[in-house]
Structure 1
Amino acid sequence: MTKYPSIPTYHKLGDKGALLEETVSFDGEVILTEKVDGTNSRIILLPDGNFVLGSREELLFAKGDLIGNPALGIVDALKGVAYSLPQSQNGITVAYLELYGGKITSASKQYTAQQSVGWRLFDVAVLPDIKTLFEKSVQQLAAWRDNGGQMFLNEEQLNKIAAYYGFELTPRIGTIAALPTSIEEAHQFLKVMLPQTKVALDRGAGGRAEGIVARTISRNAIAKLRFEDYERHAKRRIK
Protein backbone atom coordinates (compact mmCIF):
# COMPACT_ATOMS: atom_id res chain seq x y z
CA MET A 1 0.00 0.00 0.00
CA THR A 2 2.97 2.35 0.41
CA LYS A 3 5.01 1.35 -2.66
CA TYR A 4 5.65 4.37 -4.88
CA PRO A 5 3.82 4.15 -8.22
CA SER A 6 5.76 4.30 -11.48
CA ILE A 7 5.97 7.78 -13.03
CA PRO A 8 5.11 7.63 -16.75
CA THR A 9 7.41 9.16 -19.35
CA TYR A 10 6.11 12.44 -20.78
CA HIS A 11 6.37 11.04 -24.31
CA LYS A 12 4.98 7.53 -24.36
CA LEU A 13 7.50 4.72 -24.80
CA GLY A 14 7.05 2.54 -27.87
CA ASP A 15 8.79 -0.65 -28.99
CA LYS A 16 12.36 -1.12 -27.77
CA GLY A 17 12.27 2.18 -25.89
CA ALA A 18 11.45 4.40 -28.85
CA LEU A 19 9.56 7.57 -28.01
CA LEU A 20 6.13 8.24 -29.50
CA GLU A 21 4.58 11.65 -30.12
CA GLU A 22 1.77 10.88 -27.62
CA THR A 23 2.27 12.81 -24.36
CA VAL A 24 0.86 12.93 -20.83
CA SER A 25 -1.79 15.65 -20.71
CA PHE A 26 -1.31 18.54 -18.26
CA ASP A 27 -4.19 20.84 -17.38
CA GLY A 28 -2.88 24.09 -15.93
CA GLU A 29 0.52 25.25 -14.73
CA VAL A 30 3.35 22.73 -14.62
CA ILE A 31 5.93 22.55 -11.81
CA LEU A 32 9.36 21.32 -12.88
CA THR A 33 11.64 19.54 -10.41
CA GLU A 34 14.94 17.77 -10.87
CA LYS A 35 14.77 13.98 -11.18
CA VAL A 36 17.69 12.69 -9.14
CA ASP A 37 19.30 9.39 -10.17
CA GLY A 38 19.47 7.44 -6.92
CA THR A 39 17.36 4.86 -5.16
CA ASN A 40 13.72 5.35 -4.23
CA SER A 41 13.43 5.19 -0.42
CA ARG A 42 10.49 5.52 1.94
CA ILE A 43 9.98 6.37 5.59
CA ILE A 44 6.60 5.01 6.68
CA LEU A 45 5.34 6.84 9.78
CA LEU A 46 2.65 5.06 11.79
CA PRO A 47 0.08 6.62 14.15
CA ASP A 48 1.37 4.65 17.15
CA GLY A 49 4.80 6.27 16.90
CA ASN A 50 6.51 3.41 15.09
CA PHE A 51 8.10 3.66 11.66
CA VAL A 52 9.31 1.39 8.85
CA LEU A 53 12.07 2.07 6.33
CA GLY A 54 11.92 0.66 2.83
CA SER A 55 13.24 0.73 -0.69
CA ARG A 56 10.68 0.94 -3.48
CA GLU A 57 10.28 -2.84 -3.52
CA GLU A 58 11.08 -4.00 0.01
CA LEU A 59 10.65 -3.15 3.69
CA LEU A 60 14.10 -3.04 5.29
CA PHE A 61 13.89 -1.91 8.91
CA ALA A 62 11.31 -1.19 11.64
CA LYS A 63 11.73 0.97 14.72
CA GLY A 64 13.37 -1.09 17.45
CA ASP A 65 14.96 -3.66 15.14
CA LEU A 66 18.46 -4.72 16.15
CA ILE A 67 19.44 -5.76 12.64
CA GLY A 68 18.28 -4.13 9.41
CA ASN A 69 18.60 -5.08 5.77
CA PRO A 70 21.68 -3.18 4.49
CA ALA A 71 20.42 -3.05 0.88
CA LEU A 72 21.44 0.12 -0.98
CA GLY A 73 22.56 1.80 2.24
CA ILE A 74 19.03 3.05 2.94
CA VAL A 75 18.86 1.98 6.59
CA ASP A 76 22.30 3.38 7.45
CA ALA A 77 21.50 6.71 5.78
CA LEU A 78 17.93 7.23 6.98
CA LYS A 79 17.52 5.41 10.31
CA GLY A 80 18.64 8.41 12.36
CA VAL A 81 16.40 10.70 10.31
CA ALA A 82 13.37 8.46 10.90
CA TYR A 83 13.93 8.37 14.67
CA SER A 84 13.83 12.17 14.76
CA LEU A 85 10.45 12.50 13.01
CA PRO A 86 7.11 12.94 14.83
CA GLN A 87 4.51 10.19 14.60
CA SER A 88 1.86 10.39 11.94
CA GLN A 89 -1.25 12.31 13.00
CA ASN A 90 -3.59 11.00 10.32
CA GLY A 91 -3.31 7.30 9.57
CA ILE A 92 -0.07 6.41 7.78
CA THR A 93 2.22 9.11 6.39
CA VAL A 94 4.86 8.09 3.86
CA ALA A 95 7.83 10.30 3.02
CA TYR A 96 9.41 9.36 -0.33
CA LEU A 97 13.08 10.24 -0.62
CA GLU A 98 15.69 9.90 -3.35
CA LEU A 99 18.92 8.61 -1.79
CA TYR A 100 21.86 9.28 -4.09
CA GLY A 101 25.64 9.44 -4.35
CA GLY A 102 27.94 6.91 -2.68
CA LYS A 103 27.95 3.74 -4.78
CA ILE A 104 24.16 3.60 -5.08
CA THR A 105 23.84 3.72 -8.89
CA SER A 106 26.13 3.90 -11.90
CA ALA A 107 25.29 7.61 -12.04
CA SER A 108 26.57 8.30 -8.51
CA LYS A 109 29.78 9.83 -9.91
CA GLN A 110 27.66 12.60 -11.43
CA TYR A 111 26.82 13.74 -7.89
CA THR A 112 30.02 12.99 -5.98
CA ALA A 113 33.71 12.28 -6.46
CA GLN A 114 34.16 11.35 -2.79
CA GLN A 115 31.38 8.77 -2.45
CA SER A 116 29.34 11.19 -0.36
CA VAL A 117 25.66 10.33 0.14
CA GLY A 118 22.71 12.73 0.06
CA TRP A 119 18.95 12.56 -0.08
CA ARG A 120 16.02 14.75 -1.08
CA LEU A 121 12.29 14.53 -0.36
CA PHE A 122 10.23 14.29 -3.56
CA ASP A 123 6.73 13.24 -2.46
CA VAL A 124 4.54 12.53 0.56
CA ALA A 125 1.42 10.37 0.72
CA VAL A 126 -1.17 10.19 3.48
CA LEU A 127 -3.25 7.02 3.92
CA PRO A 128 -5.99 7.80 6.46
CA ASP A 129 -8.27 4.76 6.08
CA ILE A 130 -5.92 2.15 7.50
CA LYS A 131 -8.53 -0.41 8.59
CA THR A 132 -10.09 -0.63 5.12
CA LEU A 133 -6.67 -0.94 3.48
CA PHE A 134 -5.57 -3.82 5.69
CA GLU A 135 -8.74 -5.70 4.77
CA LYS A 136 -7.67 -5.75 1.10
CA SER A 137 -5.72 -8.58 -0.49
CA VAL A 138 -2.28 -7.95 -2.00
CA GLN A 139 -3.84 -8.02 -5.46
CA GLN A 140 -6.55 -5.56 -4.45
CA LEU A 141 -3.97 -3.22 -2.93
CA ALA A 142 -1.87 -3.31 -6.08
CA ALA A 143 -4.89 -2.42 -8.22
CA TRP A 144 -5.88 0.34 -5.76
CA ARG A 145 -2.36 1.81 -5.82
CA ASP A 146 -1.90 1.57 -9.58
CA ASN A 147 -5.21 3.37 -10.14
CA GLY A 148 -4.32 6.40 -8.03
CA GLY A 149 -5.61 5.24 -4.63
CA GLN A 150 -2.75 6.81 -2.68
CA MET A 151 -3.41 10.41 -1.60
CA PHE A 152 -0.35 12.57 -2.34
CA LEU A 153 0.12 16.07 -0.98
CA ASN A 154 -0.13 18.99 -3.38
CA GLU A 155 2.77 21.40 -3.87
CA GLU A 156 1.79 23.78 -1.08
CA GLN A 157 1.28 20.94 1.41
CA LEU A 158 4.53 19.30 0.34
CA ASN A 159 6.49 22.49 0.99
CA LYS A 160 4.91 22.85 4.43
CA ILE A 161 5.64 19.29 5.54
CA ALA A 162 9.20 19.50 4.21
CA ALA A 163 9.77 22.57 6.37
CA TYR A 164 8.09 20.85 9.36
CA TYR A 165 10.33 17.78 9.03
CA GLY A 166 13.42 19.84 8.18
CA PHE A 167 13.80 18.12 4.80
CA GLU A 168 15.19 19.54 1.57
CA LEU A 169 13.00 18.98 -1.48
CA THR A 170 14.24 17.94 -4.88
CA PRO A 171 15.23 21.21 -6.59
CA ARG A 172 12.39 23.30 -8.00
CA ILE A 173 13.47 24.42 -11.47
CA GLY A 174 10.48 26.58 -12.30
CA THR A 175 6.78 26.77 -13.11
CA ILE A 176 5.61 27.03 -16.73
CA ALA A 177 2.28 27.36 -18.50
CA ALA A 178 2.78 24.31 -20.73
CA LEU A 179 5.39 21.77 -21.83
CA PRO A 180 6.59 21.56 -25.44
CA THR A 181 4.77 18.77 -27.25
CA SER A 182 7.19 17.53 -29.92
CA ILE A 183 9.97 15.09 -29.04
CA GLU A 184 12.71 17.33 -30.46
CA GLU A 185 11.41 20.42 -28.65
CA ALA A 186 11.16 18.51 -25.37
CA HIS A 187 14.77 17.34 -25.73
CA GLN A 188 15.97 20.91 -26.34
CA PHE A 189 13.80 22.09 -23.43
CA LEU A 190 15.61 19.65 -21.11
CA LYS A 191 19.01 20.95 -22.20
CA VAL A 192 18.02 24.56 -21.54
CA MET A 193 16.18 24.03 -18.25
CA LEU A 194 18.65 21.65 -16.60
CA PRO A 195 22.15 21.88 -18.11
CA GLN A 196 23.61 20.23 -15.00
CA THR A 197 22.46 18.76 -11.71
CA LYS A 198 21.55 21.09 -8.87
CA VAL A 199 22.32 18.53 -6.14
CA ALA A 200 26.03 17.80 -6.60
CA LEU A 201 27.56 16.81 -3.28
CA ASP A 202 31.14 17.97 -3.95
CA ARG A 203 33.19 19.87 -6.50
CA GLY A 204 34.53 16.77 -8.24
CA ALA A 205 31.07 15.54 -9.27
CA GLY A 206 30.45 14.91 -12.97
CA GLY A 207 27.40 17.15 -12.87
CA ARG A 208 25.18 15.43 -15.45
CA ALA A 209 21.49 15.50 -14.48
CA GLU A 210 19.10 12.61 -15.04
CA GLY A 211 16.14 14.72 -16.07
CA ILE A 212 13.00 16.51 -14.94
CA VAL A 213 9.78 15.50 -13.22
CA ALA A 214 6.81 17.62 -14.31
CA ARG A 215 3.61 17.82 -12.28
CA THR A 216 0.58 20.04 -11.92
CA ILE A 217 0.25 22.11 -8.74
CA SER A 218 -2.58 19.83 -7.56
CA ARG A 219 -0.49 16.76 -8.57
CA ASN A 220 -3.33 15.28 -10.64
CA ALA A 221 -0.85 14.78 -13.51
CA ILE A 222 2.82 13.79 -13.32
CA ALA A 223 5.44 12.64 -15.85
CA LYS A 224 9.20 12.34 -16.24
CA LEU A 225 11.50 13.60 -18.98
CA ARG A 226 14.89 11.86 -18.94
CA PHE A 227 17.91 12.86 -21.02
CA GLU A 228 18.63 9.19 -21.68
CA ASP A 229 15.26 8.62 -23.37
CA TYR A 230 15.56 11.62 -25.68
CA GLU A 231 19.20 10.93 -26.54
CA ARG A 232 18.38 7.34 -27.44
CA HIS A 233 15.52 8.54 -29.63
CA ALA A 234 17.81 11.04 -31.39
CA LYS A 235 20.37 8.32 -32.11
CA ARG A 236 17.65 6.12 -33.62
CA ARG A 237 16.70 8.92 -36.00
CA ILE A 238 20.29 9.36 -37.15
CA LYS A 239 20.57 5.65 -37.94
Structure 2
Amino acid sequence: MEMADPSTERFKIRARDYRERLNLLFRRSYLRHGFSGTEILALDGIEGKDLIVHFNVHIDPTYIDADADDLKELLRKEITLEESLYFRNLTIDAKSLEVKESDTPIHSTTTPKATTPKPEPVTKLPEPPRRCSKLQLPYCNRLPYNITTYPNIFGHKTLSDVQNNMITFREIADAECFNYAYDFVCNLLQPSCIKGVKEDVMVLPCKSFCREFMQ
Protein backbone atom coordinates (compact mmCIF):
# COMPACT_ATOMS: atom_id res chain seq x y z
CA MET A 1 0.00 0.00 0.00
CA GLU A 2 2.92 2.36 0.67
CA MET A 3 3.88 2.37 -3.03
CA ALA A 4 0.36 3.42 -3.99
CA ASP A 5 0.33 6.36 -1.59
CA PRO A 6 2.16 9.40 -3.07
CA SER A 7 2.51 10.95 0.38
CA THR A 8 4.78 8.18 1.72
CA GLU A 9 8.56 8.44 1.78
CA ARG A 10 8.91 5.13 -0.04
CA PHE A 11 6.81 6.36 -2.96
CA LYS A 12 8.80 9.60 -3.16
CA ILE A 13 12.13 7.76 -3.25
CA ARG A 14 11.06 5.28 -5.94
CA ALA A 15 9.26 7.97 -7.97
CA ARG A 16 12.38 10.15 -7.91
CA ASP A 17 14.52 7.22 -9.08
CA TYR A 18 12.21 6.39 -12.01
CA ARG A 19 11.87 10.06 -12.95
CA GLU A 20 15.65 10.57 -13.04
CA ARG A 21 16.11 7.47 -15.21
CA LEU A 22 13.48 8.65 -17.67
CA ASN A 23 14.87 12.19 -17.72
CA LEU A 24 18.34 10.91 -18.57
CA LEU A 25 16.97 8.77 -21.39
CA PHE A 26 15.07 11.61 -23.05
CA ARG A 27 17.70 14.28 -22.44
CA ARG A 28 20.28 12.17 -24.26
CA SER A 29 17.98 11.12 -27.11
CA TYR A 30 17.11 12.80 -30.41
CA LEU A 31 14.01 14.19 -28.66
CA ARG A 32 16.09 16.29 -26.26
CA HIS A 33 15.40 19.61 -28.02
CA GLY A 34 11.67 19.33 -27.34
CA PHE A 35 11.86 17.44 -24.04
CA SER A 36 10.87 19.47 -20.98
CA GLY A 37 10.52 16.84 -18.25
CA THR A 38 8.71 13.81 -16.82
CA GLU A 39 6.53 13.22 -13.79
CA ILE A 40 5.59 10.01 -12.01
CA LEU A 41 1.83 9.90 -11.52
CA ALA A 42 1.28 6.59 -9.73
CA LEU A 43 2.89 3.28 -8.76
CA ASP A 44 0.49 0.32 -8.82
CA GLY A 45 1.23 -3.22 -7.66
CA ILE A 46 4.14 -4.77 -5.79
CA GLU A 47 7.72 -3.79 -6.51
CA GLY A 48 9.75 -6.66 -7.96
CA LYS A 49 6.62 -8.54 -9.09
CA ASP A 50 3.97 -6.63 -11.02
CA LEU A 51 4.69 -2.96 -10.41
CA ILE A 52 3.14 -0.61 -12.98
CA VAL A 53 4.64 2.87 -13.31
CA HIS A 54 2.33 5.59 -14.62
CA PHE A 55 4.18 8.66 -15.85
CA ASN A 56 3.91 11.69 -18.11
CA VAL A 57 6.50 12.77 -20.67
CA HIS A 58 6.34 16.39 -21.77
CA ILE A 59 7.46 17.12 -25.34
CA ASP A 60 7.11 20.61 -26.75
CA PRO A 61 5.96 20.35 -30.42
CA THR A 62 7.36 23.81 -31.04
CA TYR A 63 10.87 22.36 -31.12
CA ILE A 64 10.40 18.81 -32.42
CA ASP A 65 7.75 16.81 -34.24
CA ALA A 66 7.18 13.62 -32.24
CA ASP A 67 4.15 11.48 -31.48
CA ALA A 68 3.26 8.61 -29.13
CA ASP A 69 4.78 6.01 -31.46
CA ASP A 70 8.14 7.81 -31.41
CA LEU A 71 8.21 7.79 -27.61
CA LYS A 72 7.14 4.16 -27.44
CA GLU A 73 9.85 3.09 -29.87
CA LEU A 74 12.52 4.99 -27.95
CA LEU A 75 11.45 3.35 -24.67
CA ARG A 76 11.14 -0.10 -26.29
CA LYS A 77 14.67 0.03 -27.71
CA GLU A 78 16.13 0.97 -24.34
CA ILE A 79 14.12 -1.69 -22.48
CA THR A 80 15.12 -4.52 -24.85
CA LEU A 81 18.87 -3.80 -24.72
CA GLU A 82 20.95 -6.56 -23.12
CA GLU A 83 22.54 -3.96 -20.88
CA SER A 84 20.24 -0.99 -20.54
CA LEU A 85 22.07 2.22 -19.76
CA TYR A 86 19.15 3.94 -18.05
CA PHE A 87 17.03 1.04 -16.73
CA ARG A 88 19.88 -0.97 -15.23
CA ASN A 89 18.86 -3.41 -12.44
CA LEU A 90 15.22 -3.21 -13.56
CA THR A 91 13.27 -6.00 -15.24
CA ILE A 92 10.69 -4.50 -17.59
CA ASP A 93 8.29 -6.35 -19.87
CA ALA A 94 8.43 -4.50 -23.20
CA LYS A 95 4.98 -5.87 -24.11
CA SER A 96 3.45 -4.05 -21.15
CA LEU A 97 4.56 -0.68 -22.49
CA GLU A 98 1.68 1.66 -23.36
CA VAL A 99 2.06 5.24 -24.59
CA LYS A 100 -0.91 7.54 -25.13
CA GLU A 101 -0.83 11.02 -26.57
CA SER A 102 -2.49 13.83 -24.65
CA ASP A 103 -3.86 17.10 -26.03
CA THR A 104 -3.29 18.87 -22.73
CA PRO A 105 -0.92 21.83 -23.25
CA ILE A 106 2.47 21.63 -21.60
CA HIS A 107 2.13 24.94 -19.86
CA SER A 108 -1.15 26.50 -18.86
CA THR A 109 -0.95 30.17 -18.15
CA THR A 110 -3.55 32.58 -16.94
CA THR A 111 -3.21 36.00 -18.43
CA PRO A 112 -4.25 38.69 -15.98
CA LYS A 113 -6.56 41.36 -17.22
CA ALA A 114 -4.55 44.25 -18.50
CA THR A 115 -5.31 47.63 -17.11
CA THR A 116 -5.10 50.40 -19.64
CA PRO A 117 -3.26 53.36 -18.17
CA LYS A 118 -4.73 56.76 -18.78
CA PRO A 119 -2.80 58.51 -21.52
CA GLU A 120 -0.71 61.40 -20.41
CA PRO A 121 -1.84 64.70 -21.87
CA VAL A 122 0.36 65.65 -24.80
CA THR A 123 1.37 69.24 -25.09
CA LYS A 124 1.97 70.01 -28.74
CA LEU A 125 4.00 73.07 -29.42
CA PRO A 126 2.80 75.20 -32.32
CA GLU A 127 4.80 74.94 -35.52
CA PRO A 128 7.06 77.93 -36.10
CA PRO A 129 5.87 80.25 -38.89
CA ARG A 130 7.04 79.28 -42.37
CA ARG A 131 10.02 81.21 -43.64
CA CYS A 132 11.70 81.42 -47.04
CA SER A 133 15.33 80.35 -47.23
CA LYS A 134 18.06 80.06 -49.83
CA LEU A 135 17.84 77.08 -52.20
CA GLN A 136 20.97 75.01 -51.44
CA LEU A 137 20.26 71.60 -52.99
CA PRO A 138 22.88 71.22 -55.77
CA TYR A 139 20.74 68.81 -57.79
CA CYS A 140 17.98 71.40 -58.17
CA ASN A 141 20.19 74.41 -58.99
CA ARG A 142 18.73 74.63 -62.53
CA LEU A 143 15.35 75.78 -61.24
CA PRO A 144 14.30 79.29 -62.35
CA TYR A 145 14.30 80.48 -58.72
CA ASN A 146 16.77 80.36 -55.82
CA ILE A 147 14.43 80.65 -52.81
CA THR A 148 12.71 77.68 -51.16
CA THR A 149 11.07 76.82 -47.82
CA TYR A 150 10.78 74.02 -45.26
CA PRO A 151 9.05 71.76 -44.53
CA ASN A 152 8.26 70.69 -48.09
CA ILE A 153 5.26 68.59 -49.12
CA PHE A 154 7.10 65.37 -48.12
CA GLY A 155 7.72 66.62 -44.60
CA HIS A 156 11.43 67.28 -45.07
CA LYS A 157 12.28 69.94 -42.51
CA THR A 158 15.91 70.57 -43.47
CA LEU A 159 18.27 70.30 -46.42
CA SER A 160 19.78 67.23 -44.74
CA ASP A 161 16.37 65.51 -44.72
CA VAL A 162 16.04 66.07 -48.46
CA GLN A 163 19.54 64.80 -49.20
CA ASN A 164 18.90 61.61 -47.24
CA ASN A 165 16.05 60.74 -49.63
CA MET A 166 17.56 61.96 -52.88
CA ILE A 167 18.31 58.53 -54.39
CA THR A 168 14.64 57.67 -54.88
CA PHE A 169 13.73 61.07 -56.29
CA ARG A 170 16.72 61.11 -58.64
CA GLU A 171 15.69 57.73 -60.03
CA ILE A 172 12.26 59.17 -60.86
CA ALA A 173 13.71 62.27 -62.51
CA ASP A 174 16.50 60.45 -64.37
CA ALA A 175 14.14 57.81 -65.77
CA GLU A 176 13.08 60.38 -68.41
CA CYS A 177 9.56 58.94 -68.60
CA PHE A 178 8.30 62.53 -68.51
CA ASN A 179 9.98 65.45 -70.26
CA TYR A 180 9.65 67.71 -67.24
CA ALA A 181 10.29 65.08 -64.56
CA TYR A 182 13.31 66.99 -63.26
CA ASP A 183 11.33 70.21 -62.90
CA PHE A 184 8.40 68.44 -61.26
CA VAL A 185 10.53 66.56 -58.70
CA CYS A 186 12.58 69.63 -57.80
CA ASN A 187 9.43 71.76 -57.52
CA LEU A 188 8.25 69.35 -54.81
CA LEU A 189 11.58 68.91 -53.03
CA GLN A 190 12.54 72.59 -53.18
CA PRO A 191 9.27 74.44 -53.67
CA SER A 192 9.29 78.11 -54.50
CA CYS A 193 8.50 80.53 -51.70
CA ILE A 194 7.03 84.01 -51.57
CA LYS A 195 7.02 86.47 -48.71
CA GLY A 196 3.84 86.72 -46.67
CA VAL A 197 2.51 88.94 -43.89
CA LYS A 198 2.51 86.66 -40.82
CA GLU A 199 4.44 83.86 -42.48
CA ASP A 200 5.86 83.06 -45.88
CA VAL A 201 3.99 80.92 -48.42
CA MET A 202 5.08 77.69 -50.13
CA VAL A 203 4.26 77.57 -53.85
CA LEU A 204 3.61 74.09 -55.27
CA PRO A 205 3.20 72.96 -58.90
CA CYS A 206 -0.24 73.63 -60.37
CA LYS A 207 -2.84 70.86 -60.73
CA SER A 208 -2.47 70.62 -64.51
CA PHE A 209 1.29 70.04 -64.14
CA CYS A 210 0.63 67.30 -61.57
CA ARG A 211 -1.95 65.58 -63.80
CA GLU A 212 0.40 65.69 -66.76
CA PHE A 213 3.16 64.06 -64.71
CA MET A 214 0.83 61.33 -63.38
CA GLN A 215 -0.28 60.41 -66.90
TM-score between the two structures when normalised by the length of structure 2: 0.20
Higher share of residues assigned helix: 2
Higher share of residues assigned strand: 1
TM-score between the two structures when normalised by the length of structure 1: 0.19
